Amino acid sequence: MKIPLRLLAIAAVAAVLSPSRLHAWGAEGHEMVNQLALSSLPADFPRWALTPANARQVVFLANEPDFLRDSKDRMMLHAATVDHDFDLEEIADAGMDVATLSPFRYEFAVQFAAARAAHVANFRPIEPQYNGNHTAGFPGFLPWTIAEYYGQLQQAFSCVKTFEKYGTPDEVAGARANALWIMAVMGHFVGDGSQPLHVSKYFYGWTGPNPKGYVSRGGWHGWIDSGAIEKAGITAAELLPRVRPAVPVSVAPRPDGRDPVFVAVVDYLKATNLQLIPLYQLEKDGPLRMGVPPTAEGRAFIDDRLLDGGEMLGSLWLTAWRHAGPDYYLQSRLLRRNAATHPAAP
């Protein structure tokens, strides 16, 4: 497939923008997921989001949630750090069923706290010295984070469509900038969701009984986040020809009443979790051994994770755009404002 020039330009810019980081995918990985998503979109996705300048912004802001992690503000970190992960196994450890999770974040938090307390023997004790952010009792809220950003984006697109009809050029520009910010930040979290160590309680290495002898050393998480990508020299440019087209997510009401996008996100994270054992096995067998340049097999594994993230992200963006109707409240306010500013001629 021929790679559009604008995508090559994005890749070039991203290569310059990327400092190395050790949490979530590294900066390069997150930027690649956003780049892949930008190139997964069909012709009915708005072209203004894909101009070189706006695409660069979406790629740059892929790392905005990790910029926050460097803060010392414990209240903000308490709220924000739980957004990046989902220790899927802990749902079953707490006696809950992942197929019936509430799509409402705080309802789930209350339910999980009670379930965890009732199955406390299945959890490692919370050590206060490692719980400065007061989040250790939770499995992470990544599914809710992604689904909530989806809702934000859909509403932001509704505002864009309404301002495009009734707003001033400045209002249109502001509404589009807001939507771009949400697209980018949401991309960070969808990218987290394609990394198996972000959807498992075995995030820093294997813990507990370890009959297969999987890696448990420090540095493992960072190795998959960024070390392996760096050693293998994986770039967006080489992945772009393999981008999978965005596919709209079903928004049809579900018999159980749960939000269909939330369920699609949970399914996406479950699929990523299925890659956890293969990932540990690749470390053990050699293709993704810590500190060693990945083999072709190890590289292909990382490639597929990044491509999966890009596909899911593009699919969510596309779904949000297609299902964003007019904001009727905003429309009526703008119509009143416009009528007062430019009264109809008698």
Residues interacting with Zn ion, by CB under 5 A? 24, 84, 192
Q: Which residue is nearest to Zn ion (CB)?
A: 24
Q: Alpha-carbon distance 254 to 101, whole Å?
A: 14
- 29/205 with CB nearer Zn ion: 29
Write down the least CB distance from residue 59 to Zn ion, Å.
16
- 187/298 with CB nearer Zn ion: 187
Write down the least CB distance from residue 336 to Zn ion, Å.
42
- 62/276 with CB nearer Zn ion: 62
Write down the least CB distance from residue 258 to Zn ion, Å.
25
- 84/176 with CB nearer Zn ion: 84
Residue 138 CA, distance from chain mean position: 19
Write down the least CB distance from residue 77 to Zn ion, Å.
13
Write down the least CB distance from residue 198 to Zn ion, Å.
7
Residue 6 CA, distance from chain mean position: 23
Contacts with 257 (C-beta within 8 Å, 6 or more apart), sequence order: none
Q: Alpha-carbon distance 143 to 149, whole Å?
A: 10
DSSP codes of every residue in 121-148: GGSPPPPGGG-TTS-TTS---HHHHHHH
Q: What is the DSSP letter of 223?
A: I
Q: Which of 124, 89, 90, 25 is nearest to 277 (CA)?
A: 89
Structural tokens at position 68: 């926050």
- 143/287 with CB nearer Zn ion: 143
Structural tokens at position 157: 């697109």
- 24/159 with CB nearer Zn ion: 24
Task: Please tell me whether residue 200 adopts helix, strand or coil conformation.
Answer: coil
Q: Alpha-carbon distance 196 to 302, whole Å?
A: 10
- 176/221 with CB nearer Zn ion: 221
Burial (CB < 10 A; 0-12, 13-18, 19+), residue 24, is buried
- 88/159 with CB nearer Zn ion: 88
Contacts with 12 (C-beta within 8 Å, 6 or more apart), sequence order: none
Write down the least CB distance from residue 218 to Zn ion, Å.
19
What number of residues does the chain have? 346
Instruction: Answer whether 156's CB lies under 8 Å from 186's CB.
Output: no
Write down the least CB distance from residue 337 to Zn ion, Å.
40
Write down the least CB distance from residue 24 to Zn ion, Å.
3
- 105/322 with CB nearer Zn ion: 105
Q: Alpha-carbon distance 159 to 172, whole Å?
A: 9
Write down the least CB distance from residue 171 to Zn ion, Å.
32
